[in-house]
Each structure stands twice: as structure tokens, then as C-alpha cells.
Amino acid sequence: MYVIADDFRALHDLNISDRWRGGDPAELAVATPNAMLDTRKQRRSLFLLASTWRSASGLMGIGDLLLEQLHALRRDLGIDGRGSGPGNSVEDVYTASGVHGVFSAAVGGNTDCDPEEIAIRLYALLPAWIHHPPQPPTT
């Protein structure tokens, strides 16, 4: 779990850094899950093992890590203060569970798409706030 969490945090930090440097949010939003999927395939055994762990939250282990990443993304994009409430919690749990399912199918070889196509389709299904984040602060 720690190895996968470190991978996710490194990709998140790179995503946020690239956004603040003016990177296209849509391109970055596709590139990040693509990179996450690639690292999951490289660490297939760890991913499969971590996916079987059920945490106290009720989500499978990877689901918790993905939920943590969504919360970090909300925080770092300045979204957590706008319209936060129980609806966000449900949306985040649903999103984390869905992303985990897509990753599991892709790592297990149960998809008919290449990794970039998976990332593009996954991006299309993510919540609207990921598609239209606020603009980064200007310096």
C-alpha cells in the first residue's frame, strides 16, 4: 500500500505542478490516469494484493488511496471549499470505486482498449469539477 500510495502522490504532485505552469488541464487529466495505470501494470502483483485489502472505510485498499488522491486534488485545485458537503463525499467514493474498477479490469487484461484509450474514456466519466477546474493562481 505504501509503494502504491507513493506512486500516486508523485503523479499527483507532477500533475499539480504542471497545471500551475500552465499545462492544459484536459491533457493533464488524461495523462495522469494513463500514468497511474502504467505504474499499476508495472507493479501488477502489488496492485492485485493491495486491491484485496478492505479498509475500515469499507472500500477496498486501492479505493482508499484513490479517495485520498481525489481529496488532495480538490484541496490543491481550491475546490474543497466550494460546495463541499455530503454530496462531494458520495461523489468521491463513487469516483474512487469506479477508477479502481477500471484499473482492476485493465491490469487484469479485461479491456479491449489500449492504456491511452482507457485514460481518455475514464476522463470522460470523471466528475465535472475535474473537467473544469478553477484557473491556477497567476504569479
Map grid coordinates 485489502 to a residue. 53
Q: Tell me, what's the pLDDT at 95?
A: 87
- Which burial class, exposed, middle or buried, applies to 61 when counting CB atoms under 10 A from its CB (0-12, 13-18, 19+)? buried
SS3 content of the chain, % helix, strand, coil (to 5): 70, 0, 25
The C-alpha angle 19, 23, 26, rounded to 5 degrees, equals 90
**Mind spelling out the 3-state secondary structure of 9-32?**
HHHHHHHHHHHHCCCCHHHHHHHH
Cell of 54: 478492505
What does the domain layout of the chain look like in residue ranges?
Answer: 2-131
pTM reported for the whole predicted model: 0.76
Q: Provide mean pLDDT across the span 53-72.
A: 81
- Whether the per-residue pLDDT at 38 is higher than 70: the answer is yes
* Calpha distance 87→5 (Å, rounded): 25
